[in-house]
Structure 1
Amino acid sequence: MKQSETIFNPKAPHILIEGATQFELGSFNGKAINYDFPKILNYLDAKGKLCFGKNFKIYKEDHELLLELASYFIQDHEYCKKLNIDTKKGILLSGPVGCGKTTLMRLLPHLVPHKKTYNFIPCRNIVFGFNGIGFKMIEDYSDNKAYCFDDLGVEHIGRHYGKDCNVMGEILISRYEVFKQKDILTHITTNLNAVEIEERYGERVRSRMRSMFNLLSFDSNTKDKRG
């Protein structure tokens, strides 16, 4: 992935600078930013090309979902309320293989470079780690950091010294406690729907996930964009 540093000026927080290009995301009255969604789309398209290459593209059929996600990331509380999105919960972004879930969850934090973002961790890597070091891996994710767990559901059951463990299920239960006690968020991307999540991780995990996440999803007919 290409690296691109965003320049942010606290005196003009509605303007982001990428290289020699300036992107105005809306207007600023000295207290709050009035964001303009078409300008946000323009910035995300440009930033996406800088981060992921020239073939990156914002698809028209994703605009509605992008509006929801962008509203959440910029913390537009009033509009999120209309969308039934709780800004104090994390995001669970679901959709078919190759629809762009991972890309968007890597891209959208760039809208707010002044805010601390989350650590992005593939679920498969977590289970590989568990297989090597055991239950300490689960304990390590009970910390005070925010995470986005990528591709929930593609990982195998963990096994350490002959003991099987549904590693991500256990981590999500731990993250629920972190969320309830410290208001620290967790985000997820997954190909699974709600029923498949419950089948895979159990009703106990699923019930906690309802409290932890806003469920946002791509259309089930969204095409694979990686081709």
Structure 2
Amino acid sequence: MESLYEIKEDGKSHILGRVRDRKIHYDFGAILKYLEWKGQSRYGQKFVLDPIDKSTVFNLCAYTVADKELCEKLGLDLRKGIFLSGPVGCGKTALIQLLRNLIPHRKTYQVIPARNIVFAFNHLGYKIIADYGNAGPICLDDIGVEPTGKFFGRDCNVIGEILISRYDRYPPRIPLTHITTNLNADEIEERYGSRVRSRMRQMFNLIAFPGDSKDKRM
């Protein structure tokens, strides 16, 4: 018995694959069309998926829909989160937001700007590190450009401490963590230290936009 897998939005039906033997078999061409439609409805008609980013987007889609066989071929571990890196303006945040729409039948992650977390820490203190360290699935968006946290005169590398806290529960207890960043591995180590960088290797799949990916905001 086979049926269509579709998402209905704004009076439109988007067929993204077929359900066979209780498993969704996705049509990745249809997924890309849906993501572009969704991006245009959210960000405006100028939103497009650039062909130069095709490999990056394909890997992210395979991971998001949890296609185990494909992810194995691509070297992606579904037990780990996503470390999404790329140049400024390449579309990391927009894409990580849009991908959640592919899986309305599953609990997904919140996308939280790293700077907002630091601002909350500056107001509420170390409770914020505990809260995010123990939170459900999250994407820490745009890490590396947030200011240093400061509470009662004491500096704190807030995002680094949250990552360590989440690692200490990793796996199988901790819900997945994802991050987006403009930084490369060496810059991550300089910003957060070798302790955080070494833990990241065990927590994340690295997916990167090409270095010559266009600035979509221009």
Structure 1 and Structure 2 fold alike (TM over 0.5) = yes
Superposed displacement of residue 113, structure 1: 0.6
Q: Give yes or no for contact 2:4–2:18 (8 Å, CA) kept in 1.
A: no
Identity %: 52
Equivalent position amino acid for 1:108 in 2 = L
Mapped to 2, the partners of 1:222 and 1:74 lie a distance apart of 24
Q: Give yes or no for contact 2:3–2:20 (8 Å, CA) kept in 1.
A: no
Which position in structure 2 is the counterpart of 1:103? 94
* Number of equivalences: 217
| Residue among 93, 107, 114 paired with 1:123 | 114
Asked if residue 224 in structure 1 is aligned to residue 212 in structure 2, the reply is no
Given the superposition, is the C-alpha separation of residues 111 and 181 from structure 1 closer, same or farther in structure 2, using an over 3 Å criterion? closer
Equivalent position amino acid for 1:213 in 2 = F
Which position in structure 2 is the counterpart of 1:159? 150
- 1:146-225 equivalences in 2 (<5 Å): 146-225=137-216
Superposed displacement of residue 179, structure 1: 2.5
Given the superposition, is the C-alpha separation of residues 130 and 13 from structure 1 closer, same or farther in structure 2, using an over 3 Å criterion? farther
Superposed displacement of residue 181, structure 1: 4.9
Q: Secondary structure at the match of 2:190?
A: helix
Superposed displacement of residue 213, structure 1: 0.4
Q: Secondary structure at the match of 1:149?
A: strand
Mapped to 1, the partners of 2:75 and 2:171 lie a distance apart of 20
Q: Give yes or no for contact 1:144–1:178 (8 Å, CA) kept in 2.
A: no
Superposed displacement of residue 144, structure 1: 4.0
Mapped to 1, the partners of 2:17 and 2:8 lie a distance apart of 14
| Residue among 139, 145, 153 paired with 2:136 | 145
Asked if residue 74 in structure 1 is aligned to residue 74 in structure 2, the reply is no
**Comparing both chains, which one has the higher relative contact order based on Cα–Cα distances under 8 Å and sequence gaps of 6 or more?**
2
Superposed displacement of residue 51, structure 1: 2.0
Which position in structure 1 is the counterpart of 2:23? 32
Mapped to 2, the partners of 1:137 and 1:84 lie a distance apart of 34
